[in-house]
Structures are given as structure tokens and as C-alpha cells.
Structure 1
């Protein structure tokens, strides 16, 4: 059912929604622009290479991000007319994309860490167990929120607003889901940091390094930037969910917090996420092109598997 109103007391809703919507639209456009900028790298490092699991995951991550941005833009344009049914389908799709994409990134993280730990079966089984536990629980939480979702189109002074109400205790469920994702991200960062530090210590002790050290540096650098974006998104979401900010729910302050969250979550998932694969493939391509020492490696081609021969066991 569409609600039409010209009540002057609702002007604050228009101002708040415009502030938040324009930020979200800008972030979505940025995702599409980034995919255009990285298209030459993608063609060279992904499409022209031998296909593997990481190729499929990269393409899925990249083009799901484009779909997300394309849906997100019209939803947040105040002049875009729609219906309750269309709005419901769009919101439902966006919510499940946000569930599916962290799962894809989780598989990429497992592959990276499995390679960094020299294919340790114990580490692999531990990560898979935590990954499945977190993602199954997260999907159940999102399903609980969406079970009683209501979407209503509101037309205020000729502008279109999409009023979304989630069933159950929305704040508690959002916090639970965010904490699950945070546990996984912190665990992945700690595992990557620990094995990287261990390799650097051993290489210093044996006066070795070179290719192996550079590879771990590239892996850790891309992971650190990715985690930094997640941290900002996580903090802004909890700020948005706090009573001081979210009351009233459509205040300008709440919309700004939500806009900041959207910017960094889109950057983390759809800009820095694909770069977890592109960065190491670009490093390997430069190594092959510029150095004759690549024959000393077993394989550093992350297709995304990094098999490095070292004198130590991980």
C-alpha cells in the first residue's frame, strides 16, 4: 500500500532520506566506476588466465557487486517511482547479497590462509569449521529478520521514499550478525599476521627472504587494508544502532551514520574484496615479467594458491 502525504511536519524525513540516499548512491556509483577502472587488469589477470576456483569466486564477487550497485541506485533516488512489490524484491535481494558476499570472501580467505600455512590440514579443518558455523548462524539470523519484513512506498511532496521495517528485534539481530562477521574477520587477520611474522623471523634468522618475503608482504598489505575498511564499517554500524543515534530512526544523524556504513561496507566487499585476488596475481605477473629468479619458486601464482618452498614447517 502506497502512503501519500504532504504534511509539513514530515519534511525532516525528506531531508534525512536525501542526505543518506545521496551518499549511498555515490558509493554505489563508485563500485561501478572501480569495476571499469580495473577492467584491463581483470582481463589480463583473470579472463586470460587458466580458470580455477579463485577465478570463479573473483568474477562472482565482482559482478554481484555491480548488480548490488545497480539495484541500490534506483532504490535510493527520491525521484524513482516503484511499487511495494518491486521494493520488497529489491530489498530482499540486497539483504541476501550482503549474506552471500561475506561467504565468498570467507572462501577466498581460507584459500589464502591455507596457502600461507603451506596447506596445513589442521588449519584448513579449523577454518572450515569456524566458517560454516558463522555463516550458517548468520544466514539463520538474516532469515529471522526477513521473515516479517514489511516494505511500504511513501510519497512525500512528490518524492518517493521506501519505508522498510524488519521483523523481530532488529537491533539485537543486526548486532548478533555483525559480531559473527567480526569474529571471522579478526580470526583471519590474526592467523595471517601470526604466520607472516613467523616467516619473517625465520628468514631473518637464516638470512633468506627475497621472493617469499615479498609475497607475504603483498598478502598482508592487501589483508590489512581490507580489514581496516571492515573496522570502520563495523564501528559505524554499531554507532548507527546505538539508541543515541537511531532515535528517532530517520533523523539526519542516523542517516549519516548509515551512509558512512554503506560507503565502507561497499568498499570492503566490492572494491577491496576483489583486490585480495588481483593484488597477488599482479605481483606474480610482474615477477614473471621482470625477474629471472622465478624458476627458484615452486609456485607463487595464487591462482589463488601460494605454494612457497621454505626450510621451515608451518
Structure 2
């Protein structure tokens, strides 16, 4: 394939994936907007409500910028409007987004462990090095022109686009992702430990498992797989893949995390609202139904016995 045909081929893939990203994010927003109004704007705000709004709207902005960067809306590489600067914003933005997603998981674990301060402090203490690692990765891998640069491709005087060029191999990204993956494994193990204890207690009482605990643990596992895939994708980007592979992995990276994390938060609220709970008017974090206190367990046991 000649240089001109290859450039046109890359631009077509860039614009097609951009349309898919915009469509998916817009459709997802429309699907969830009614629930957002019900469970966020019409309720008393909580810490999780603020986290939801941040990951929701920051994620939408990030996805739209990723979609239009490079080809769909041409941003020239000039001293005044730099496509390279936009690329840095996207990468640093994704690092911030993944940190916010980790905070959501930490907060859910804090609630699962009956608001244990020890668990909260330990997880936050271990999370600080992860934040430092994200910053170091972005500074070393993405913010140095010797490691990555932006190339302006001119097909015709009126048809231009920008593309990122990586100048080092994938190994630094792979090594840097290992501690992040280990931290996610810790979160999954803690969530599974709570679930195991809960299932054992429920089995002894001959009761069904709590829907909310099962749901939270399930989302921890999903997020672990999601973040693991994202870290692998980051490494693939530095391996200079083909155009098709590059655009497909970017399509995944620019949509899946930005859709799953807000859904993780709002799906629990939605389940709680549709449950037969006498405390349904309260926020999920304040409700006692899903933690199954001893007095409620006893009442439920007596009801089963009768």
C-alpha cells in the first residue's frame, strides 16, 4: 500500500471509529438520563452522587475529545493550537478517570466492610503510590516528545489529519502497569472475601444472598477485567500495531470504561429503588436493608420459620 493510500485508509478508520464512539456515548447518555434525574438530581446528594457526576460528565467530555481528535475535526499542529497538547490532555484525563474509578471501588469496599476506618485508611494509603505511578507514567511516556510525538499528515491541501507516533517500545508501559494491576487484584480479593463470608452466613440461616453485595462484588470483578484490558491496550499502543488493531483498541479504550463506571454506580441505586425496602426513600449508602443487620436477620429468620 502506497503512502497516500495508507494515509487515506488510516483517516477512514479514524473517522469511522469516531462516529461509533460519539454514537455509543450519546446513546448511553440518553438511556441513563432519566435514572440520573431520579437518583441524583431529585435526591439528597451524597459522596457517591458527586463521584457519579464527575465520572459521568468528565467521561463524556473525554470521549468526545478522543472521538474528534486527529481527523473528524482537524486540529493543526501549530504553535498556537497544538494537537499534541490535546493528546496530552486525553492521556492525563484517562489517568484521572481511572483514579476516580478506583475511588468509587474503594468507597464501595468501605461500605461493604461496615464503614471500617482501618480498611479505608489502608486502601487509601496503598492508593497514593498508584496515583504517583499514574503521574510518573504520563510524565515519562506521554509528556516527552522523545517518547511520543504528533505527526501532521497532509493528503491534499484541504484534507489533513494528525496521528500520534510512539518512539519507544512497550516494555516501560508493561512494567508500570504491574503495580496498578496488583492493586486491582487486592480490591477484588477484599470484595470476594466479603462475599464469601456473606454467603456462608446466609447459607447457615437458609437465606438468599444480598442482591447488593453480590452486585458490588460482580462489578469489582468486571472493573478488574476492564482495567486489565485497558493496561494491556496501553502497552499495545507502544508496540506500533496495524491501523485496524490500533483503531479497534482505541475504540474499546474510549468507550468501555466511560460507560461501565457510571453504570456501576447508578445500577445499584436503580436496584435499591425497585426493591421492596421500607427505607427506599433513603440513599443507598444510608440504607440498612442491604447490610442485613442482626435484628433484620432475626426477623427474617422468624418469618421463614413461621
Q: What's the counterpart of residue 111 of structure 1?
A: 107
Match of 2:48 among 42, 45, 54: 54
Map 1:252-267 → 2, pairs under 5 A:
254-267=242-255
CA distance, structure 2, for counterparts of residue 198 and residue 266 of structure 1: 36
How far off its partner does 1:80 sit? 2.9
Map 1:129-278 → 2, pairs under 5 A:
129-149=125-145, 150-157=149-156, 158-165=158-165, 169=168, 171-209=170-208, 213-241=210-238, 246=239, 249=240, 254-278=242-266
How far off its partner does 1:31 sit? 1.6
Match of 2:268 among 247, 255, 280: 280
Q: What's the counterpart of residue 120 of structure 2?
A: 124
- TM-score (structure 2 length as normaliser): 0.81
User: Which range is displaced more, 101-110 or 129-138?
Assistant: 129-138
CA distance, structure 2, for counterparts of residue 81 and residue 239 of structure 1: 25
User: Which range is displaced more, 122-131 or 275-284?
Assistant: 122-131
Match of 2:69 among 75, 81, 98: 75
Change (3 A) 1:176 1:31: farther
Change (3 A) 1:133 1:236: closer
Q: CA RMSD in A?
A: 3.0
CA distance, structure 1, for counterparts of residue 14 and residue 287 of structure 2: 37
How far off its partner does 1:104 sit? 0.7
How far off its partner does 1:63 sit? 0.7
Quick check: 1:301 aligned with 2:297? no
Secondary structure (helix, strand or coil) at the match of 2:284 reads coil
Contact 1:203 1:209 in 2 (8 A): yes
Change (3 A) 1:79 1:35: closer
How far off its partner does 1:240 sit? 4.9
Change (3 A) 1:182 1:23: farther
Q: What's the counterpart of residue 303 of structure 2?
A: none
Change (3 A) 1:93 1:306: farther
Unaligned stretches of 5+ in structure 2?
295-306
- TM-score (structure 1 length as normaliser): 0.79
Quick check: 1:40 aligned with 2:34? yes
Quick check: 1:63 aligned with 2:57? yes
How far off its partner does 1:166 sit? 5.2
Contact 2:170 2:237 in 1 (8 A): no
CA distance, structure 1, for counterparts of residue 155 and residue 95 of structure 2: 32
Contact 1:115 1:306 in 2 (8 A): no
Change (3 A) 1:163 1:142: same
CA distance, structure 2, for counterparts of residue 102 and residue 12 of structure 1: 33
How far off its partner does 1:37 sit? 1.6
Secondary structure (helix, strand or coil) at the match of 1:162 reads strand
Contact 2:21 2:67 in 1 (8 A): no
Per-residue Cα deviation, 1:52-82 (whole angstroms, up to 9, x for no partner):
2211111111111111122122214357353
Q: What's the counterpart of residue 3 of structure 1?
A: none
User: Which range is displaced more, 9-18 or 214-223?
Assistant: 9-18
Match of 1:9 among 3, 13, 17: 3
Unaligned stretches of 5+ in structure 1?
1-6
- Bigger relative CO (Cα 8 Å, ≥ 6 apart): 1
CA distance, structure 2, for counterparts of residue 181 and residue 268 of structure 1: 18
Q: What's the counterpart of residue 84 of structure 2?
A: 88
CA distance, structure 1, for counterparts of residue 164 and residue 245 of structure 2: 17
